[in-house]
Structure 1
Amino acid sequence: MKQAILITAYKDFEQLDKLVDEFDCRFNIYIHIDKKSPITDYEKKLLRNNVRIKYLSQHHLVNWGGLNHLKAYLDLSQVALNDKDNMYFHLITGQDFPIKSNSYFDKFFTLEKDYISSFTMPAIGWKNGGMDRIQYYNFYDLFDYKKSNLWIKRFLKLQKKLRVKRAIPDFMGQLYGGNTYWSLSRTTLSFVNQFTKSNPRFLRRFKHTFCAEEIYFQTLIMNSKYRERVINSDLRYMDWQSGRGGFPAVLEEIDFEDIIQSDKLFVRKLDMNANGLFDMLSKHRRNNI
Structure 2
Amino acid sequence: MKHAFLIMAHGSLPLLRVLLSMLDDERNDIFLHIDRKSDMLDGAEPLVLSKARLFVLEQRVDVRWGNLSQIKAEYVLFEEALKHGPYAYYHLLSGQDLPIKSQDYIHQFFEEHQGKEFVGINHGEEFEWDCRRKMMRYWLFTSLTRSKYGALNAITRRLNKYLSMLLMPFLHRQKMDFAKGANWVSITQACVEYVVSQKPFVLKRFNYTFCPDEFFLQTLVWNHPDFRAALYSEKDEYEGCMRLIDWKRGNPYVWTLADKEELEQSNRLFARKFDMEHEDIIRWIKASC
TM-score (ref. length: structure 1): 0.87
- Larger strand percent: 1
Identity, % of aligned positions: 31
Which of 171, 180, 186 pairs up with 1:166?
171
Task: Give the secondary-structure state (helix, strand or coil) at the position aligned to 1:86.
Answer: coil
Superposition map of 1:122-271 within 5 A: 124-126=125-127, 128-138=129-139, 139-145=141-147, 147=150, 148-155=152-159, 156-161=161-166, 163-170=168-175, 173-196=176-199, 200-225=200-225, 226-232=227-233, 233-243=240-250, 247-271=251-275
Unaligned segments of structure 1, at least 5 residues:
none
Pairing 1:3–2:14 present: no
Unaligned segments of structure 2, at least 5 residues:
234-239
Change (3 A) 1:145 1:130: farther
Superposition map of 1:3-42 within 5 A: 3-23=3-23, 24-42=25-43
Which of 267, 273, 280 pairs up with 1:276?
280
Deviation at 1:75, TM superposition (A): 1.1
For the residues of structure 2 that align with 1:14 and 1:219, how far apart are their CA atoms?
35
Contact 1:175 1:219 in 2 (8 A): yes
Deviation at 1:62, TM superposition (A): 0.8
Task: Give the secondary-structure state (helix, strand or coil) at the position aligned to 1:176.
Answer: coil
For 2:237, the equivalent position in structure 1 comes to none
Deviation at 1:112, TM superposition (A): 1.1
What code does the residue aligned with 1:192 have?
V
Change (3 A) 1:142 1:129: closer
Change (3 A) 1:163 1:224: closer
For the residues of structure 2 that align with 1:85 and 1:167, how far apart are their CA atoms?
36
Deviation at 1:208, TM superposition (A): 2.1
For the residues of structure 1 that align with 2:8 and 2:15, how far apart are their CA atoms?
13
Deviation at 1:132, TM superposition (A): 1.3
Task: Give the secondary-structure state (helix, strand or coil) at the position aligned to 2:56.
Answer: strand
Contact 2:65 2:145 in 1 (8 A): no
What code does the residue aligned with 2:186 have?
S
For the residues of structure 2 that align with 1:261 and 1:239, how far apart are their CA atoms?
15
What code does the residue aligned with 1:215 have?
F
Number of aligned residue pairs: give it.
Answer: 274
Task: Give the secondary-structure state (helix, strand or coil) at the position aligned to 2:3.
Answer: strand
Deviation at 1:163, TM superposition (A): 3.8
For the residues of structure 2 that align with 1:274 and 1:284, how far apart are their CA atoms?
16
For 1:87, the equivalent position in structure 2 comes to 88
For the residues of structure 2 that align with 1:163 and 1:104, how far apart are their CA atoms?
49
For the residues of structure 2 that align with 1:168 and 1:115, how far apart are their CA atoms?
30
For the residues of structure 2 that align with 1:48 and 1:275, how far apart are their CA atoms?
21
What code does the residue aligned with 1:265 have?
L
For the residues of structure 2 that align with 1:195 and 1:242, how far apart are their CA atoms?
36
For the residues of structure 2 that align with 1:205 and 1:162, how far apart are their CA atoms?
17
Provide the alpha-carbon RMSD of the alignment. Answer: 2.1
Task: Give the secondary-structure state (helix, strand or coil) at the position aligned to 2:246.
Answer: coil
Contact 2:71 2:212 in 1 (8 A): yes
What code does the residue aligned with 2:10 have?
Y
Contact 2:242 2:269 in 1 (8 A): yes
For the residues of structure 2 that align with 1:189 and 1:20, how far apart are their CA atoms?
22
Task: Give the secondary-structure state (helix, strand or coil) at the position aligned to 1:256.
Answer: helix
For the residues of structure 2 that align with 1:211 and 1:159, how far apart are their CA atoms?
14
Deviation at 1:127, TM superposition (A): 8.5
Deviation at 1:56, TM superposition (A): 2.8
For the residues of structure 2 that align with 1:149 and 1:84, how far apart are their CA atoms?
41
Deviation at 1:142, TM superposition (A): 4.1
Task: Give the secondary-structure state (helix, strand or coil) at the position aligned to 2:143.
Answer: coil
Deviation at 1:162, TM superposition (A): 5.9
Worse overlay, 226-235 or 146-155: 146-155
Change (3 A) 1:12 1:96: same
What code does the residue aligned with 1:17 have?
R
Change (3 A) 1:159 1:19: closer
TM-score (ref. length: structure 2): 0.87
For the residues of structure 1 that align with 2:85 and 2:269, how far apart are their CA atoms?
24
